[in-house]
Structure 1
Amino acid sequence: MVGAAKKKCKVCEEADSKYKCPACLIPYCSLGCFKKHKEIPCVKEAVPAEQKFAPKPHVERPYFVDEPSIVLQQSQLESIASSSEVIDALKNEELQKLICKIENSADIESEFDKAMEADAFRLFTDKVGNTLFCL
């Protein structure tokens, strides 16, 4: 089996690197090179806000509807998805966290009830409801 190719230290450009800077991931070979690298501040690449709370892959779950008339039609879903008020509300990090907690919960109904105690979530559900009533 062939081993992985060794990377050169990006500080001294001589030795093989053994480490990576925790901030910028530049490869370096020794404490001396690390200290020299840190003489000029480096920064870790920022993660865009939309990726911080990226949803986990969707898992199909069985769902049960007691009253079929409460299921939204495709046109209603499209109206919600295109509502500027709903889109703006979804930029709220607190709301994003609450939605992720609901989505990833083993007990969705209980987590939904907890989320309804938060102002951000209640305002969001009001905006979704208003969008539906304006149709």
Structure 2
Amino acid sequence: MGPRTCEVCKEAQSKYKCPTCLAPYCSLGCFKKHKENPCKKSLPEQELMESSEILDALKDGELRKLIQKIDSSEEPENDLTKAMEGQTFREFTDKILAVLNPQNQLAN
């Protein structure tokens, strides 16, 4: 992942992240400007529940069964490792990561 641009001035390379919303910024001046409008911490659970891509993926009965199997497993790490070998589960986890950290997706 390469350097990100400051979300405030859109010019300089960011060096810092807002502790509340994780928006990248480059300087104290940009941080103060960013704080002129109150930001709020995004709730990952809410974002996941509202993601149409994730909701669509969960319509797949086999994927739901696999998730339930991992959740109720006595060896969840082993089952998760096995599940990651499958393309459908890997794509699903990629969608989750894209919702939780959209800046990484922009850099790819």
Q: Report TM bin, short chain.
A: 0.5 to 0.7
1:127 partnered with 2:82: no
* Regions of 4+ moved over 4 Å: none
Provide the rounded CA distance (Å) in 2 between the counterparts of 1:130 and 1:87: 14
Q: More helix per residue: 1 or 2? A: 2
Secondary structure in structure 1 of the residue aligned to 2:85:
coil
Structure index of larger Rg: 1
The alignment's C-alpha RMSD in Å is: 1.8
Q: In structure 2, what is the equivalent of residue 43 of structure 1? A: none
Q: In structure 1, what is the equivalent of residue 74 of structure 2? A: 106
Task: State the 1:77 CA deviation.
Answer: 1.5
Provide the rounded CA distance (Å) in 2 between the counterparts of 1:122 and 1:96: 13
Q: In structure 2, what is the equivalent of residue 5 of structure 1? A: none
Contact 1:94 1:120 in 2 (8 A): no
Provide the rounded CA distance (Å) in 2 between the counterparts of 1:74 and 1:108: 28
Count how many residue pairs are aligned between Structure 1 and Structure 2.
63
Q: TM-score, normalised by structure 1?
A: 0.43
- Unpaired segments ≥5 residues, structure 2: 1-40, 104-108
Q: 1:77 aligns with which of 35, 39, 45?
A: 45
Secondary structure in structure 2 of the residue aligned to 1:91:
coil
Provide the rounded CA distance (Å) in 2 between the counterparts of 1:96 and 1:76: 20
Task: State the 1:84 CA deviation.
Answer: 0.4
Q: In structure 2, what is the equivalent of residue 97 of structure 1? A: 65
Q: 1:86 aligns with which of 54, 57, 71?
A: 54
Question: How high is the sequence identity, in percent, across the aligned residues?
Answer: 43
Superposed CA deviations along residues 40-77 of structure 1, whole A, max 9, x for unmatched, are xxxxxxxxxxxxxxxxxxxxxxxxxxxxxxxxx87011
Q: TM-score, normalised by structure 2?
A: 0.53
